[in-house]
Chains A and B, each alone.
Chain A
Amino acid sequence: MRVEQIAVFLENKSGRLAEIMTILADANINIRALSVADTADFGILRLIVNDVEKAREVLMNGGFTVGKTSVLAVEVADEVGGLATVLKAIHKAGLNVEYMYAFVNKSGENAVLIFRFEKMDEAIASLQKDGFTLLSGEQICAL
């Protein structure tokens, strides 16, 4: 139930993000979710796209450093307290979140929470046991 995510290293220079987006657009790649984490000196762009391999290839050809990691996509109802329920379960299971970001499905019914855990397998088992819905990469792209 892992979802493939690509991450790109970004120097904090103006125009770099725009450049990446142009490269992806030219390659006809659709972005389903993204987050930018930044420090004073650099940033990390994380993306969930409809074609991971192609996105990786075009970005690498464009001279970017690209990494691939797997994350978990947890679906929750788009309502008050949705994220809180998941985080409570994660806390109870003693899981360590490396990072997370979220996006809301366009239908407005569900929200998708993207998590990177230190211990991915344990997280999958624990979340499934607690009855949360984990989405696959295809499911995310189909949303």
Chain B
Amino acid sequence: MTVKYWEEEIETLPRVGLESIQLRRLQHLVARVYKTVAPYRTKMDEAGVKPEDIQSLADLQKLPFTVKNDLRDNYPFGLFTVPLDEVVRIHASSGTTGKPTVVGYTRKDIELWAGIMARALCCAGATREDMVQNAYGYGLFTGGLGAHYGIERLGATVIPVSGGNSKRQITLMRDFKSTVLLSTPSYALNLADAMDSMDIDPSSLSLRVGIFGAEPWSENMREEVERKLNLRAVDIYGLSEVMGPGVAQECLHSNMGMHIFEDHFLPEIIDPDTGEILPPGEQGELVFTTLTKEAFPIIRYRTKDISRLIYEQCACGRTLVRMEKVTGRTDDMLIIRGVNVFPSQVEHVLMGVEGVEPHYQIVVEREGNLDTMTVQVEVSEGLFSDEIRVLENLTRKIQAEVKSLLGVTCKVKLVEPKTIQRSEGKAQRVIDNRKI
């Protein structure tokens, strides 16, 4: 297989050269952010670090971390470094734990992102000849539009079908001869099931590569997707705080991690408890600093994703470091069918329902290819009624509120008091029985 690069010079640059680019960009970034964003300046002053203290890449660790709460505290635009008239697009998280996290892009950011995403697509083996079916959701979520502009930049043909409506997806796939599919891995498996029910043999389609992301998935799941959809499945990583899809991309030459586009996103692995930087190759929390973004750069953003950095050179020839598939989280966030769910959000819903006691548990299972979430609620006297209608209305109400707040359909199960296990310290709110 001939390796194709989008920007060969950068993608195969020796580390020394790469690091010098990174340092120069980091210095510019820190100086700019210190000058233009008050919350960053305050934090740096408190930490006793000035922009001129950044003399080497190792000095990065002198800078304070940024966490999701910093984004919420400065909602909506407090961490933007440019006036709003220079911002041409906004994306945001669902904002279900309170305020959404809002990110913005200048025209140049959008251009840059499209280029990085084109690089990612190229890394996954896509070319301008491809017919790319983009089944990531379009909207405030970065997935759909982020990938869309990258596909166009690559020069491939994009089918902006967005998520859902599997039958139509498959009809388009067959009629337009889609060669590349972008979606969450669990949705890819749904599509496989839908093909089965439509009596469509995946080998009669033209699919060649699937680029799957936005939720964790295992090697087993990769094999299953590859077998059921008759394509090569690769992983993509991204998050709106850092940019969106395309922060890192797995190439076709390795099933061992995704290349991080380090000239734009500077990665670190830290000990989630102490914040100390861990030696190369060790597993810990992934932290990113954006080096080139204008409207919403971010310094040392703690992703809460657990990963590892792999510095050994990849068979594809790229010198860019790889990050291992995300194997977990440092917080209790669950990803249910591509939607981020914090137990605290479910708790928020439950506490809003009169009579509901604080004893609940979330049980997550994978049935077939679908994640299911069951919220078990202990029935207190305040909640109890001798009329079935009343109890059923209650479960329906909880279900509807969870759906409206989180966008996830859950099952609500009323259980007897004291049946949810009490623990000594922190309550175990989540039982995740999925084998990912």
Residues of A within 8 A of B (CB): 5, 7, 9-11, 16, 37, 39, 41-42, 44, 46, 63-67, 69, 98-99, 116
Which of the residues B380, B392, B417 comes within 8 Å of A39, measured between beta carbons? B392
Complex Cα gap A67–B380 (Å):
10
Residues of A within 8 A of B419 (CB): 11
Complex Cα gap A46–B386 (Å):
7
B418 touching A63 by the CB < 8 A rule?
A: yes
Residues of A within 8 A of B383 (CB): 65
A67 touching B392 by the CB < 8 A rule?
A: no
B381 touching A65 by the CB < 8 A rule?
A: yes
Q: What total count of A-B pairs have CB within 8 Å? A: 54
Residues A41 and B414 in contact in the complex (CB < 8 Å), given A9-B379, A65-B380, A67-B381: yes
Which of the residues A16, A65, A69, A99 comes within 8 Å of B379, measured between beta carbons? A65
B416 touching A67 by the CB < 8 A rule?
A: no
Complex Cα gap A104–B419 (Å):
36
A7 touching B384 by the CB < 8 A rule?
A: yes
B41 at the interface (CB under 8 A from A): no
Residues of B within 8 A of A (CB): 379-381, 383-389, 391-392, 413-419
Min CB distance A75 to B, Å, is 22
B384 touching A37 by the CB < 8 A rule?
A: no
24 residue pairs bridging A and B, Cβ less than 8 Å apart: A5-B386, A9-B379, A9-B416, A10-B416, A11-B415, A11-B416, A11-B419, A39-B388, A41-B413, A41-B414, A44-B387, A44-B391, A46-B386, A63-B417, A65-B383, A65-B417, A66-B381, A66-B384, A67-B381, A67-B385, A67-B386, A69-B386, A98-B387, A116-B387
- Interface of chain A, helix or strand or loop or mixed? strand
B384 touching A9 by the CB < 8 A rule?
A: yes
Which of the residues B386, B387, B389, B417 comes within 8 Å of A64, measured between beta carbons? B417
Complex Cα gap A64–B379 (Å):
9
A64 touching B413 by the CB < 8 A rule?
A: no
Residues of B within 8 A of A39 (CB): 388, 391-392
Complex Cα gap A16–B384 (Å):
17
A65 touching B388 by the CB < 8 A rule?
A: no
Min CB distance A5 to B, Å, is 7
B392 touching A65 by the CB < 8 A rule?
A: no
- What residue of chain A has the Cβ atom nearest to residue B378's Cβ? A65
